[in-house]
Structure 1
Amino acid sequence: MRCPNQLILTNKYFGIVLPNTWQYYSTSTLNLSTITHRIIKISNSCHPDSSHCLVFNDEDKLGERWMEFQGIKNWDGLLDPLDDDLRREILRYGEFVEAAYGSFNFDTSSATYATCRYPKRSMMMQCGLGRSGYKVVKNLHATCAVQMPRWIEKFPNLKSPQSSWIGYVAVCDDMDEITRLGRRDIVIAYRGTVTCSEWLENLRATLTCLPDDMLLDENSEPMVQSGLLSMYTTKIEGHIPSLQETIREEIIRILNNYSNEYSLSITITGHSLGAALATLTAYDITTKFNNLPMVTVLSFGGPRVGNKSFRYQLEKNGTKVLRIVNSDDPITKVPGFVIDDNDVAHRGDATVARLPSWLEKYMEDTQWVYAEVGKELKLTSKDSIRKGNVAKCHDLKTYLYLVNNFVSSSMCPLRATEVAAFYLLLVCIEFAFLF
């Protein structure tokens, strides 16, 4: 089983996986039939094709602390150093984003390019998450408003449909997993940018006002990135509803189905473009619906989304946002720029000093002044990754690797548990030979 930097113990075998490189891992397993006590159990979400493996103690306290990990206290005291239980939750949701990538048809020569490769009923299984306890209940599509130039038809590899499969909604329906999680969880997962049309939408980076049906306060002026809003609200009349319409309809259905349940959560996650869509989705549903369960965004490598008014409204709605950021990833520093005092205070890489109010107002009128949202978990690439290209620093697998190894900003990224695991292996080997 390929599980980097994790110790696995069961009542049938003892195995340890030692780190080799960040991308490939070597394994060795020692069978110890005399060791029958299960010390650690393997998570349902651990599977052979995963780039990491989740392990949970038998005395798992997740059900008691789930609101903490979902951000009810804004993750205070959990990020630096990174709490191990929160780490496992972040990696678990990262697997849902990996499934969004794994289900997408990347073959431009295929008639089904840019669609989902699997039917809903088997998607989790096909992506290695068959034992996750979740089932896919809705496919999600995003439609681009930009028109591709005609000359692009001469290049088949640049084929770009107007509407593409971009993610899914999944509901936890396994009672054992619901008990472990402490609630029924709904996941909305988005992939990142793939098609040419989506890349062109990303370039439309000026801020634009939200439509009236996304405004909660008439006096506020929330604005978001133009291309992002376009992908969220554009539809093909009579054929494909907008992503916004699909999300709203699904939220209504979910709330009707599970309105009698005491504990419910909505977790929206995504990478890159998907991270931005996750934040916009959270804003939309918390503005549109009342009496929602707890709504949390876990975003990986996301660009900026909106202005200060957008952030204020997001916080007012009670949405909790945890942005996982690689400090070497330039995508997290675009588009636009940040001049807000609160942002400068919370971002170590901010270089903009306090500006006179008249100049700040003038710059905001240019529609290029963004604001950071939520809480940030800042990671740093190791030299082996930093020396690579920008794409590697932005890659989702890099993010999950960094989360899996991060301890704190002031310590070595190698977790102490991994060192302890090695010594525990030696002790168990000696114990086995004694008997």
Structure 2
Amino acid sequence: MAAFKLNLSLNHHLQNHPFINTKTKIDFSWQFNKTLINQPFTITCTSKHMEKMVSLREIQGPDNWSGMLDPMDPVLRNDLIRYGEMAQACYEAFDKDPYSKYCGSCKVPPKSFFQDLGMDSSGYEITSYIYSSNTSNLIPKFFIKSLKSDGPWNSRVNWMGYVAVSNDETATRLGRRDIAIVWRGTVTKLEWMEDLMNFLKPVSAQNLASRDPNIKVMAGFLHIYTDKDQSCMYSKFSAREQILAEVRRVTKIYGERGEKMSITITGHSLGSALAILSAYDIAESGLDKPEKTERIPISVMSFSGPRVGNTKFKKRVQELGIKVLRVFNIHDRVPNVPGVLFNECTSALVPWVADWTSFFYSHVGEELGLDHTKSSFVKERLDMVSMHNMELLLHLLDGYDGKDSEFRVARGRDIALVNKDGDILKHEYLIPPHWSQVENKGLRKNSKGEWKLPERKGIEDHLRHLQVERHLRKLRLI
């Protein structure tokens, strides 16, 4: 039997802040028998005020995180922040510079993704990137393209995220092999919210598995997920096909080894909507039930996401056993759209109308609403974009201990990160707004002494078209 103890230290410059909790000491003991490495185990959390056993399966939400949100379970908080940082990494890796020939692609290769972004301790390894193409007039504001129309990158294709698998060390700690699917959110401020006001579309219209033709989701989300452009090597297959093929490939590998697995899907904003849609598709396609393996639990860690579909979509997600935890700032407007008038609240008053019609929008899952006004670090007044900021949400998670609890930073996450891409912190903390930027905007001096954006090599390393096609044939999707 082996025991490990972790000491969670706070940042030195925050130690004396009145809203930092330095009184309660938490002792994490991770115990497991090396001969039973794939068996579920528990984490013991003890403190002066708390003593409970936390199962790693609880973190995946089989009981809808009952009793874990108020007060906030420290292990769940750590997991939420980890998945949130994986979603935040998408923003930092995405090439959104219109002056770049590669605008719309990922700036870093998959093999060194986490290392290049300073996330060496992520515990995950990327197995595949995800791309989507813009072939529909329903989604013009979701995509970004280069000013150079004849550049090496296809203007109709955007990098949308990645699939990653926990490494051996992390899998041992978790007691399972975790497959993470991470979706990128929008980088076009909030203009894309206007696109949410289009219409619901049956998922079956885009050939997704569906038992009811009245299961509908927002058309824009559906097209980002299913559109493809055969003229480009990156979008020969849709984002949907790329994900389903990769999930089948990875689960087959670890299933044959007899390992327990979990699928965790995450994303911020637009990425949250795509996370819920892809979770539904994976489960409805039966990929959570591979041969000779127990059912793989699917969880969605949603951050600041809008409503995705109608009430029938919500009910089917629940029937499929998908667990969704929605984390959002209660002052953020994005989670309130679409369906301002017809939503899960109004449908609860007239359920027979919601069952009869298909235009009631509905959120899915359990909610964890956070309030930025409780943080003494944050300005009293924020604009709409700032209230939707992912780094702000991670800061609020770090300080949340329950609905009626005082804001106390638990992990000591650097508050400077809140201003990485915003103007959110009070000026007294002397953290410049929007401080995160590429040195010299990415320009490098070449051998001729000219300042140019460097050529990018090896961006095709991760593409495995033959493998994708082979697994899609096994799934009878082509």
Letter in 1 for 2:387: C
Residues 1:311 and 2:308 are matched in the alignment? no
1:172-191 to 2 correspondences below 5 Å: 172-173=166-167, 175-191=168-184
Show CA shifts across 1:36-94 (max 9, x none): xxxx9xxxxxxxxxxxxxx9835479952221001011100001111111101100111
Query: CA–CA distance in 1 between the matches of 2:226 and 2:347?
Result: 33
Letter in 1 for 2:332: D
Query: CA–CA distance in 2 between the matches of 1:334 and 1:412?
Result: 29
Helix, strand or coil: the match of 1:194?
coil
Does the Cα contact within 8 Å between 1:139 and 1:168 map onto a contact in 2? yes
Letter in 2 for 1:257: I
Q: Which residue of 2 aligns with 1:253?
A: 249
Letter in 2 for 1:199: W
Kindly tell me the number of residue pairs found equivalent between the two proteins: 364
Q: 1:282 to 1:156 in 2, by over 3 A?
A: same
Q: Which residue of 2 aligns with 1:337?
A: 340
Q: Which residue of 2 aligns with 1:192?
A: 185
Letter in 2 for 1:254: V
The Cα of 1:411 is off from its aligned counterpart by 1.8
Q: Which residue of 2 aligns with 1:387?
A: 381
Query: CA–CA distance in 2 between the matches of 1:128 and 1:56?
Result: 27
Letter in 2 for 1:123: F
Does the Cα contact within 8 Å between 1:205 and 1:335 map onto a contact in 2? no
Q: Which residue of 2 aligns with 1:377?
A: 368
Residues 1:322 and 2:325 are matched in the alignment? yes
Q: Which residue of 2 aligns with 1:227?
A: 220
Does the Cα contact within 8 Å between 1:169 and 1:188 map onto a contact in 2? yes
> TM-score, normalised on structure 1?
0.74
Q: 1:339 to 1:204 in 2, by over 3 A?
A: closer
Q: Which residue of 1 aligns with 2:439?
A: none
Q: Which residue of 2 aligns with 1:206?
A: 199
Letter in 2 for 1:71: G
Match of 1:397 among 377, 380, 391: 391
Query: CA–CA distance in 1 between the matches of 2:184 and 2:277?
Result: 14
Q: 1:56 to 1:308 in 2, by over 3 A?
A: farther
Structure showing the higher helix proportion among its residues: 1
Does the Cα contact within 8 Å between 2:263 and 2:299 map onto a contact in 1? yes
Does the Cα contact within 8 Å between 1:7 and 1:16 map onto a contact in 2? no
Letter in 2 for 1:354: L
Unaligned runs of 5+ in 2: 1-5, 33-39, 43-54, 290-294, 413-478
Helix, strand or coil: the match of 2:102?
coil
Query: CA–CA distance in 1 between the matches of 2:405 and 2:334?
Result: 25
Deviates more, 1:139-148 or 1:119-128: 139-148
Q: 1:176 to 1:331 in 2, by over 3 A?
A: same
Q: 1:146 to 1:82 in 2, by over 3 A?
A: same
The Cα of 1:101 is off from its aligned counterpart by 1.2
Deviates more, 1:81-90 or 1:205-214: 205-214
Helix, strand or coil: the match of 1:321?
strand
Q: 1:417 to 1:393 in 2, by over 3 A?
A: closer
Letter in 2 for 1:288: S
Unaligned runs of 5+ in 1: 1-5, 27-39, 41-54, 345-350, 419-435
Letter in 2 for 1:269: T
Identity %: 33
Alpha-carbon RMSD? 3.7
Does the Cα contact within 8 Å between 2:177 and 2:259 map onto a contact in 1? no
Residues 1:117 and 2:107 are matched in the alignment? yes
Q: Which residue of 1 aligns with 2:455?
A: none
> TM-score, normalised on structure 2?
0.68
Query: CA–CA distance in 2 between the matches of 1:188 and 1:323?
Result: 16
Does the Cα contact within 8 Å between 2:185 and 2:269 map onto a contact in 1? yes
Q: 1:63 to 1:134 in 2, by over 3 A?
A: farther
Q: 1:134 to 1:355 in 2, by over 3 A?
A: closer
Letter in 2 for 1:168: Y
Match of 1:57 among 16, 19, 28: 28
Q: 1:413 to 1:287 in 2, by over 3 A?
A: same
Does the Cα contact within 8 Å between 2:189 and 2:385 map onto a contact in 1? no
Helix, strand or coil: the match of 1:285?
helix
Q: Which residue of 1 aligns with 2:297?
A: 294
Letter in 1 for 2:249: R
Show CA shifts across 1:264-288 (max 9, x none): 1111000000000000010011011
Deviates more, 1:91-100 or 1:227-236: 91-100
Match of 1:407 among 401, 420, 423: 401
Q: 1:120 to 1:77 in 2, by over 3 A?
A: same
Q: Which residue of 1 aligns with 2:124?
A: 134
Letter in 2 for 1:259: G
Does the Cα contact within 8 Å between 1:338 and 1:371 map onto a contact in 2? no
